[in-house]
């Protein structure tokens, strides 16, 4: 063991070095603190669901070309005769980003996916 000597010539023994020892509870706390960010990341990934992914094999949307004398209401009756025409027209307006229900002959419209089959 070494000692520390002061200018007065008085020497004090150096404090003995002690080794840090972790108790069982200390190891548990450190393990919990280290693993907590990993657990949070896994929970966030599970809740996120992995996100949306694009596929290269996606089908092109079904389209219909407006003929002379046709309206969105007549198209709705043709595309989905079992559905409420007002719902079909509203979906057509939303999918095609139309401001009004007026359409022109030759205009190509995307058919909503649930009425495309």
Residues 81-112: pLDDT tens digits? 999 999 999 999 999 999 888 899 999 999 99
- Nearest-Å Rg of the Cα atoms of the chain is 37
Indicate the pTM of the whole model. Answer: 0.49
- Nearest CA to 111 out of 68, 71, 75 is that of 75
Domain ranges of the chain: 63-115
Among 49, 47, 88, smallest CA distance to 71 is for: 88
pLDDT in tens, 9-36: 666 677 777 888 889 999 999 999 999 9
DSSP letter assigned to residue 9? S
């Amino acid at each position: 063991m070494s000692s520390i000597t002061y200018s007065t010539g008085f020497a004090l023994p150096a404090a003995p070095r002690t080794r840090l020892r972790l108790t069982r509870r200390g190891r548990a706390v450190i393990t919990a603190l280290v693993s907590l960010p990993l657990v949070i990341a896994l929970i966030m990934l599970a809740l996120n669901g992995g996100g949306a992914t694009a596929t290269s094999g996606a089908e092109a949307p079904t389209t219909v070309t407006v003929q002379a004398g046709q309206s969105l209401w007549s198209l709705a009756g043709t595309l989905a005769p079992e559905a409420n025409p007002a719902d079909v027209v509203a979906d057509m307006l939303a999918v095609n980003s139309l401001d009004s229900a007026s359409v022109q002959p030759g205009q190509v419209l995307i058919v909503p996916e649930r009425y495309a089959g």
